[in-house]
């Protein structure tokens, strides 16, 4: 019933209302008529802009998946591939061997920046992340949307990241344990922090500041642990 009537055009308002309702009630339980009410538009207008309720979902999830995918790809192409080509980084299995501590420092700094940007993006778009997570638990079109990001770790030669890394360094190979750990203990927590952000914050009476710090501090622990196991200066 909450009407959001400002100058942003109807299509945007429909998307906004959908994000709100899908994230709170779940896609299946959200009603198109509620979206219309909440967006302050006529129900039929929704079908003027979108083919179906599902089309709205696709639009929403598509945007987030492509953003995250392209951010990952960009990081690899901008930092990893050049360093491998320069000889400052050598990948052996899933170990990153740097030529010297300066190279390692450079890499770590940029990776930290990349992570922070990712965290910011996910937190800012946490309602959509929540929808993504919810839908990833249902069989069907978006059933494996959470995995699609992990597919960037597939040994599949159709995977652009694998191709880049493999082309840059023939020794590169994904390790089963690493992939598993990264997915369930790094990616899933990150996604979950975004998805459960508001509930956690409210339940524990925390500020946005607190949440951000807790998130980054936790990631730091995790990343440091991983680096201790995988980063080497030769």
Return d(Cα 73, Cα 206) in angstroms, integer.
34
CB of 169 to a second copy, least distance (A): 22
Residues in contact with DNA by CB under 7 A are 9-10, 30-33, 41-48, 52-54
Return d(Cα 192, Cα 214) in angstroms, integer.
13
For position 10 contacting a second copy by CB under 8 A, the verdict is: no
Q: Token digits for 87?
A: 């000889």
Contacting residue, 8, 54, 62, 180, with a second copy by CB under 8 A = 180
Q: What contacts 139, CB < 8 A, 6 or more positions away? A: none
Q: In sequence order, what DSSP letters do the residues of 156-196 get, joined into one string? A: -TT-HHHHHHHHH-TTB---HHHHHHHIIIIIHHHHHHHHH
CB-based burial, 148-164: b 16+ in 10 Å, e otherwise: bbbebbeeeeebebbeb
Return the one option of a second copy, DNA, none that residue 48 interacts with (CB less than 5 to 8 A, by type).
DNA
**E strands, 21-143, where?**
89-92, 95-98
Contacting residue, 121, 181, 230, 232, with a second copy by CB under 8 A = 181
For position 185 contacting a second copy by CB under 8 A, the verdict is: yes
For position 223 contacting a second copy by CB under 8 A, the verdict is: no
| Contact characters 112-151, a second copy, x per CB under 8 A | ------------------x--xx-xxxxx--xx-xx----
For position 183 contacting a second copy by CB under 8 A, the verdict is: yes
Return the one option of a second copy, DNA, none that residue 141 interacts with (CB less than 5 to 8 A, by type).
none
> Looking at beta carbons only, is 106 or 223 nearer to a second copy?
223
């Amino acid at each position: 019933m909450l009407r959001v009537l400002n100058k942003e055009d109807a299509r945007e308002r429909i998307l906004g209302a959908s994000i709100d309702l899908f994230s709170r009630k779940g896609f299946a339980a959200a009603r198109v008529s509620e979206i219309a009410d909440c967006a302050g538009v006529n129900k039929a207008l929704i079908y003027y802009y979108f083919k179906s309720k599902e089309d709205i979902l696709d639009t929403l999830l598509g945007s987030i998946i492509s953003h995250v995918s392209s951010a990952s790809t960009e990081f690899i192409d901008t930092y990893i591939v050049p360093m491998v080509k320069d000889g400052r980084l050598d990948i052996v299995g899933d170990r990153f061997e740097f030529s010297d501590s300066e190279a390692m420092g450079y890499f770590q700094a940029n990776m930290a920046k990349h992570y922070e940007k990712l965290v910011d993006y996910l937190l800012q778009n946490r309602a959509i992340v929540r929808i993504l997570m919810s839908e990833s638990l249902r069989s069907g079109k978006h059933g494996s949307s959470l995995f699609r990001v992990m597919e960037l770790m597939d040994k599949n030669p159709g995977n652009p990241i694998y191709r880049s890394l493999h082309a840059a360094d023939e020794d590169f190979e994904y390790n089963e344990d690493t992939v598993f750990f990264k997915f369930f203990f790094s990616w899933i927590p990150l996604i979950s922090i975004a998805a459960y952000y508001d509930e956690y914050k409210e339940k524990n009476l925390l500020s946005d500041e607190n949440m951000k710090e807790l998130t980054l501090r936790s990631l730091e622990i995790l990343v440091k642990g991983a680096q201790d196991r995988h980063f080497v200066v030769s």
